[in-house]
Structure 1
Amino acid sequence: MSPEGKKLLNIIILGFSFMFMFTAFQTCGNIEQTVIKSFNSTEFHGSGYTSMAIIYGVLSGCSLIAPVVVTIIGPQLSMFFSGLFYSGYIAMFIHPYTWSFYTASVLVGIGAAVLWTAQGNVLTINSTNDTIGRNSGIFWALMQFSVFFGNLYIYCAWHGHVHITDKDRKTVFISLTVISLVGCFLFFLIRKPDAEPVPPEESEGLLQPERSDSTESVCKILVTKEMLLLSVSTGYTGLELTFYSGVYGTCIGAMTQFGQDAKSLIGLSGICIGVGEILGGGVFGMLNKSNWFGRNPVVLLGLIAHFVAFYLIFLNIASDAPIAPEAGTDLQAYITPSVGVALLCSFLLGLGDSCFNTQLFSIIGLVFHNNSAPAFAVFRLIQSIMAAVAFFYSNFLLLHWQLLILVVTGFLGSVTFFLAEWMVQSRRRESDYDSI
């Protein structure tokens, strides 16, 4: 196999590994607040929103040291051990206690910082300027099959269930734990190309640590003009990640007007999100491969998709749905609640999310190619801080206030992304002109 073929194979294996891991973890995040509401125990007093806030808060703090860990033990081991933390968090739901719930949340936050830093490192060192867009799209599309498969399982398992029993919970989380472990062990299939003399310009294809992976490098990248501009759109992805992965599914499950299938609709909503993510990753991830227009049209499409989704959710879902009790809410929004509209919004949320994330992966991998690990650590630092903030306010903010925050930050994030992309494209054109 050619060196380029081995790099592409590494990207595909990386995508499948994340697909298995996040089939388990994203499904867990999507249903955990609903599961917790249904869990009758005097020994447990946890909140799914608070748990996710802890995860992303710890992730943001650990992002500064994650590049050092990746450098010392390498990307494969970094992703494997981080994946074990994810598996432990999922397994905890088989019989949760408050102390184990929040302890596992802290450990996942640590693991997530290392996992995503190593992922960005592997993605970048197996890509060139011409293939970074393609590889970002392939990875994102493969990973987002996790949303599809995990939620399809939830829909089938919980169809017709008004209340989630202990047996339902244990069956689901034992299965998710096994799936997560499969993803962990797949990381060991990522390999270096054959040992042979490689020209310096091609050496980025080797799985090796970069030279500038210290906390100091993270801080320097954080204050660059490009990263400061991208930080607003990165922060928006953290807010909307919280909304589509934790809040929106809870809202659908709380709508009593959707009937006795409301709980199983959480899984169906996740499937629609996954279809949007896969479509966006598979198609729009390819569009930024050295085209003149750059990444801005894809981000604009993502913004439009999200704005349409937010408006329809505002009309369709009751304002108290995010914080409704286990019995759900009988309130109605501005139209008669429609399952079809709710699922369309799920698709649009996934499509918009993939548009933003594939383009951010692409532009960060391009601009910071020689320092990808600290650059992606900065990306996760900003994203996770905003996700932690969003999960915190999801405990008490009504739906329409959450949507307003998303609209404002989405608009600002898109404008700053456009400015960063124009800056990058201008520099590339100047470089091409100077080389003539």
Structure 2
Amino acid sequence: MTPEGKALLNIVILGFGFMFMFTAFQTCGNIEQTVIKSLNNFTASGYTSMSIIYGVFSASNLVAPSVVAVVGPQLSMFFGGLLYSAYIGMFIQPRVWSFYTASVLVGFGAAVLWTAQGNVLAINSTGTTIGRNSGIFWALLQFSLFFGNLYIYLAWHGHDHISEKDRQTVFISLTVISLIGCFLFFLIRKPDTSEPIPSETAEGLQAESTESISGSGTPRRSLCTQALDAFVKACKLSVTKEMLLLGLPIAYTGLELTFYSGVYGTCIGAMTRFGHDAKGLIGISGILIGVGEILGGGLFGILNRCSHLGRNPVVLLGLLIHYLAYYLIFLNIAPDAPQAPEEGTDLQAYITPNVGVALFCSFLLGLGDSCFNTQLLSIVGFLFKEDSAPAFAVFKFIQSIMAAVAFSYSNVLQLPWQLLLLVVTGFLGTMSFFVAEWKVEARRRDSAYDSI
């Protein structure tokens, strides 16, 4: 096999490993609050758990590069994946103490896992193949939204109550699926290619760390020095005008990530007026969110290459799509649905609850999310081309912190108030993005003028 062929195979294996792992974990996150409501004498909250996960994940980004540099990317992904599997397996016989302990551990494991993923992607790519390899990985990862949620629909179709047997069957299956993904990482082999990817496109470790990880050399600086330098650079970037402007739209993606990945599925499952299939509809909702994400990612990737209008129209479209979704959800879903007990809520909002409208909103949530994320990744990569690793670390830090905050208030705020926060933050974030994009266009015009 040619060196390029081996590197491509590594990317495909990486994508399948993450697809299996996140088929299990994203499905778990989508249904866990519904499952917890079915447990007797279980006082923990799925929203609180996800808040802990994202909070620890955000903080752990500061130390994850050093962990990966010492252990290596392959073992880092494996052990990080084991923590994901432990969190999922905890639901087989849940206890409050093990639930929250696993939440802390999986937050740390997530930071290590994603740092190692970025390094594996980098060392298996060149400057000409990084775009293709990123696209392959993203597509395989997004398919995780299909399979797990389809399984939930088939397993819970027609169930009014989640019995112990139902819960154990589902979570044993999800744990096995997650473990398969962990062990797939051992199939990844050290690439033969010696052509390096430019350091500014690698969202993992610095070049010195890569040499040490791949076993081809010794880092020229100590790991502590590298970690400190990365931390200082990230702190400096976080207070630049450009990052402060982008902070608001990034914060919005954290809030709406929480809503579509954890809150909305719980709301659908709590609607007794959707009939006996309400619990199973959680899975269909997750599938349609994935359809919106994949469609939007592909469509707006093409538009970016073909359009000279810039990023603002796509972000504005994303805001309008989300506003339509929020308005329909406000009309269709009962206000107490996020905190409803296991037996659900008999209340209705302003129209007779409609399953078709609820599932259409799931698609809109995924489509709108892809508008914001594709354009944010694009503008951050352009503005901070020379320092993309710390820039994307700041990106994930802001997004994770806001996701943690959103999961915290989801315990107490009824649905209309959550939607109002999303509407206000989305508007402010979009306006802030427009200003940042206008600065980018001004910079391009100045560069074109200077080159004349």
TM-score (norm. length: structure 2): 0.87
Report 1:214-229 matches (<5 A).
214-229=230-245
Counterpart Cα distance in 2 of 1:122 and 1:424: 31
Shift of 1:16: 2.8
Of 260, 273, 281, which residue of structure 2 is paired with 1:257? 273
Counterpart Cα distance in 1 of 2:128 and 2:438: 18
Counterpart Cα distance in 2 of 1:87 and 1:183: 10
Report 1:223-242 matches (<5 A).
223-242=239-258
Is structure 2 residue 185 aligned with structure 1 residue 155?
no
Please, which moves more after superposition, 217-226 or 158-167?
217-226
Please, which moves more after superposition, 179-188 or 406-415?
179-188
TM-score (norm. length: structure 1): 0.89
Shift of 1:301: 2.2
Alignment check: 8 A CA contact 1:315 1:334 kept: yes
Counterpart Cα distance in 1 of 2:39 and 2:203: 48
Is structure 2 residue 351 aligned with structure 1 residue 353?
no
Counterpart Cα distance in 2 of 1:359 and 1:186: 31
Instruction: Please list the CA deviations of residues 384-430 of structure 1 after superposition, one character each: whole Å capped at 9, or x if unmatched.
Output: 11111111111110100000000111112222223333333443454
Counterpart Cα distance in 2 of 1:263 and 1:358: 31
Counterpart Cα distance in 2 of 1:285 and 1:192: 30
Residue 297 of structure 1 corresponds to: 313
Report 1:234-383 matches (<5 A).
234-289=250-305, 292-383=308-399
Report 1:4-403 matches (<5 A).
11-40=11-40, 42=41, 44-122=42-120, 137-190=135-188, 193-196=191-194, 198=195, 209-210=206-207, 213=227, 214-289=230-305, 292-403=308-419
Where does structure 2 lack aligned partners over 5 or more consecutive residues?
209-225
Counterpart Cα distance in 2 of 1:377 and 1:121: 14
Shift of 1:298: 2.5
Counterpart Cα distance in 1 of 2:407 and 2:202: 37
Distance 1:426 1:12, change over 3 A: farther
Please, which moves more after superposition, 155-164 or 367-376?
367-376
Shift of 1:180: 1.2
Alignment check: 8 A CA contact 1:74 1:208 kept: no
Please, which moves more after superposition, 235-244 or 363-372?
363-372
Aligned residues: 433
Alignment check: 8 A CA contact 1:155 1:265 kept: yes
Instruction: Please list the CA deviations of residues 150-198 of structure 1 after superposition, one character each: whole Å capped at 9, or x if unmatched.
Output: 10000000001111111111111111111112222333455554244x4
Instruction: Please list the CA deviations of residues 84-117 of structure 1 after superposition, one character each: whole Å capped at 9, or x if unmatched.
Output: 1111100111111111000000001111222333
Shift of 1:6: 6.4
Shift of 1:303: 1.5
Shift of 1:199: 7.5
Please, which moves more after superposition, 266-275 or 412-421?
412-421
Partner amino acid for 2:423?
Answer: V
Cα RMSD (Å): 2.9
Distance 1:348 1:133, change over 3 A: farther
Counterpart Cα distance in 1 of 2:34 and 2:390: 36
Alignment check: 8 A CA contact 2:248 2:425 kept: yes
Distance 1:398 1:59, change over 3 A: same
Partner amino acid for 1:235?
Answer: A
| Other structure's SS at 1:245 match | helix
Counterpart Cα distance in 2 of 1:367 and 1:128: 21
Shift of 1:14: 3.7
Counterpart Cα distance in 2 of 1:352 and 1:408: 16
Q: Which has the higher contact order (CA 8 A, sep 6+)?
A: 1
